[in-house]
């Protein structure tokens, strides 16, 4: 399609892949393939409109030519020459109209071919294609030298087949429903991971979603500049505040109040499925149940912080927190109450979550971080979503803990956020401009912190007609002789056995 251009237009149409800015690879946004095709399709529609107008001109010129036909035997300057001139004009209009229609048709064909190729590529990824490619194995070999964990790409490619096999084993009918939905939506079957999580959640009462209570703890003034790095710093601070905490930051942007919801990452170490909604079970609640209970708690937190209905909101989340933040942007109940403007995630598996079209999202990922790949599907290339993949190698600092790998370190993502703010990439500039428009230049803000608690899991109900299993009883023990002999006690004839011995003290 690059060679298909209008005559004399000055150059071919060019489509560009992911942009590279230093160690950042940038997908999506106004520089992404999807937006480029949107622009081309808009151009194709204008070409169709112009071709329609030319077709009308062509008809009129034909009518003029027909009106001149009776004069073809007249003097040449007024007869034949006029017919030839008008006929050539008609042919010229026809040629331009046909050229415009041809370009429009080829643009549409190119877009369809691209979408078909993407669908097949996605399906191939979902069944394990790409895991054995030399490029993938080469990148993984390099990354293994920096830490013994899979990188994001390999994790993403591996999770798809695992999810398919598990979903087929657990619920074949749900597999076919998921496959049909994915094909209709242009995704690949690896997006069945949330469905699989839902299946496992229903089969295990510990992983079932449970109501979350909210308790307001403190309100304090803070200095806040509204940049992506400052948002991630709030995620660090609220994580250090304690387990189960979230924060709502009220910002005054030129007289209009805006609110930032800050959600921490996974807080492991205690009982899974306990009172902390951000433990490991929270990942299942996020991916398998759309964070319904956490969303409801965040809604109440905003109301308790004084946010009026329709107020603009920004959500930021690290790791698991990014799942909950994105689910807020896809929750109709939440969107009916507040105007979600922007979501920032760092190291979060959110490829299968589709936010409202009016929400701008920025996703930070690291090539060495396997966590964003655990949902088995890449973030889509969309106009309202920009994904930044960091390719600069990172290692665990000397004396530091490896944890789940240096690629998932929040410090690295904060550094990436500063690079994003300084970048002149069109997609990143447009994304950060949206954020700045909501939060302004920053200054003194008000932070309100809330403690969230998950209710206890329901007791396992006994099936109707079930008989309790008796507890094993200890075998009877022979009587132990006393330390000193005692005289025999008389036995009454009507007594069924020996009288009880007096208690030894």
- The burial class, CB within 10 Å (0-12 / 13-18 / 19+), for 385 is buried
Dist CA 360 CA 344 (whole Å): 9
Name which of 4-18, 217-231, 335-349, 439-453 the model is least confident about. 4-18
Mean pLDDT confidence for 490-498: 41
Is the pLDDT confidence value at 449 over 60? yes
Angle in degrees, 0-180, between the axes of helices 152-170 and 80-126, rounded to the nearest 10: 70
> What is the spatial distance between Cα 241 and Cα 353, in angstroms, rounded to a whole number?
28
pLDDT at 168 over 60: no
Residue 498 has pLDDT above 50, yes or no: no
pLDDT of amino acid 136: 65
Q: Where are the alpha helices (DSSP H) in 338-461?
A: 410-422, 426-439
Q: What is the mean pLDDT of the chain?
A: 77
Q: Does domain 194-392+406-454 have CATH number 3.40.50?
A: yes
What's the average model confidence in pLDDT over 357-369?
94
Q: What is the pLDDT of residue 459?
A: 65
Q: How confident is the model at residue 304 (pLDDT cuts 50, 70, 90)?
A: very high
pLDDT of residue 446: 96
* Cα(191)–Cα(245) distance, integer angstroms: 29
pLDDT score of 488 more than 50? no
What value does the mean pLDDT take over residues 172-192? 48
Q: How confident is the model at residue 199 (pLDDT cuts 50, 70, 90)?
A: very low
pLDDT at 291: 94
Q: How far apart are CA 153 and CA 170, in angstroms?
A: 26
Query: Half-sphere exposure of residue 452, counting CA atoms within 13 Å on the CB side?
Result: 29
* Count of Cβ atoms closer than 10 Å to residue 98 Cβ: 14
Q: Is 297 helix (H, G, I), strand (E, B) or coil?
A: helix
Q: Which residue has the higher pLDDT, 470 or 249?
A: 249
The dihedral built from the CA positions of residue 171, 176, 179 and 184, taken in this order, carries a sign that is: negative
> Going edge to edge, which strands form the sheet with 19-21?
19-21, 24-28, 385-390, 360-366, 339-346, 312-318, 256-263, 245-253, 443-454, 212-224
Where does the pLDDT of residue 248 fall: very low under 50, low under 70, confident under 90, or very high at 90 and above? very high
Predicted confidence (pLDDT) at residue 492 exceeds the cutoff of 50: no
The answer to whether 131 touches 376, Cβ cutoff 8 Å, is no
**8 A C-beta contact, residue 334 and residue 328:** yes
Q: Averaging pLDDT over each range in 195-199, 340-344, 499-503, which range is the top one?
A: 340-344
CA-closest candidate to residue 310, choices 287, 337, 285: 337
Mean pLDDT of 411-433: 94
* Domain spans of the chain, in order of start: 33-126, 194-392+406-454
CA–CA dist 329, 283 (Å, integer): 17
- What is the total residue count of the chain? 505
Please state, in angstroms and as integers, the Cα–Cα distance from residue 172 to each residue in 176, 290, 352, following that order: 7, 22, 20
25 Cβ neighbours under 8 A, 6+ residues apart: 18, 19, 388, 389, 391
Q: Given this model, what pLDDT does residue 299 score? A: 97
Residue 188's pLDDT is what?
Answer: 40
């Amino acid at each position: 399609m690059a060679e298909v251009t209008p005559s004399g237009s000055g150059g071919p149409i060019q489509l560009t892949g992911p942009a590279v800015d230093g160690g950042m690879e940038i997908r999506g946004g106004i520089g992404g393939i999807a937006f480029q095709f949107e622009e081309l399709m808009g151009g194709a529609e204008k070409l169709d409109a112009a071709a329609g107008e030319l077709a009308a001109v062509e008809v009129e010129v034909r009518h003029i030519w027909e009106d001149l036909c009776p004069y073809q035997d007249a003097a040449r300057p007024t007869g034949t020459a006029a017919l030839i001139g008008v006929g050539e004009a008609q042919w010229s209009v026809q040629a331009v109209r046909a050229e415009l229609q041809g370009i429009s048709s080829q643009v549409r064909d190119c877009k369809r071919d691209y979408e078909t190729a993407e669908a097949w590529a996605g399906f191939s990824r979902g069944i394990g294609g790409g895991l054995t490619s030399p490029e993938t194995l080469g990148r993984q070999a390099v990354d293994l030298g920096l830490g013994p964990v899979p990188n994001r790409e390999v994790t993403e490619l591996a999770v798809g087949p695992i999810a398919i096999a598990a979903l087929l084993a657990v619920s074949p009918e749900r597999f076919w429903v998921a496959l049909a939905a994915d094909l209709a939506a242009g995704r690949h079957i690896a997006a069945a991971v949330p469905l699989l999580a839902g299946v496992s959640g229903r089969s295990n009462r510990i992983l079932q979603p449970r109501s979350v209570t909210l308790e307001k703890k403190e309100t304090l003034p803070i200095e806040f500049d509204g940049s992506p790095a400052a948002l991630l710093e709030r995620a660090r601070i609220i994580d250090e505040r304690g387990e189960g905490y979230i924060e709502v930051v009220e910002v005054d942007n030129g007289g209009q109040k805006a609110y930032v919801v800050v959600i921490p990452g996974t807080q492991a170490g205690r009982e899974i499925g306990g009172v902390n909604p951000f433990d490991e079970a929270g990942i299942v609640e996020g991916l398998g149940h759309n964070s319904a209970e956490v969303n409801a708690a965040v809604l109440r937190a905003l109301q308790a912080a004084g946010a009026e209905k329709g107020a603009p909101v920004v959500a930021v989340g690290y790791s698991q927190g990014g799942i909950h933040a994105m689910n807020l942007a896809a929750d109709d109940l939440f969107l009916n109450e507040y105007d979600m403007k922007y979501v920032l995630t760092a190291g979060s598996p959110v490829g299968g979550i589709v936010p409202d079209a009016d929400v701008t999202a920025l996703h930070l990922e690291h090539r060495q971080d396997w966590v964003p790949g655990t949902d088995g599907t890449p973030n889509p290339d969309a106009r309202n979503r920009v994904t930044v993949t960091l390719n600069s190698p990172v290692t665990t600092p000397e004396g530091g803990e490896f944890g789940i790998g240096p690629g998932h370190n929040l410090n690295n993502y904060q550094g990436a956020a500063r690079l994003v703010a300084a970048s002149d990439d069109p997609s990143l500039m447009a994304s950060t401009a949206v954020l700045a428009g909501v939060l302004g230049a920053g200054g003194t803000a008000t932070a309100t912190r809330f403690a969230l608690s998950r209710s206890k899991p329901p007791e396992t109900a006994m099936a109707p007609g079930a008989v309790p299993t008796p507890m094993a009883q200890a075998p009877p023990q022979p009587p132990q002789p006393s330390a000193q002999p005692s005289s025999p006690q008389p036995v009454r004839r009507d007594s069924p056995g020996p009288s009880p011995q007096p208690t030894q003290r």
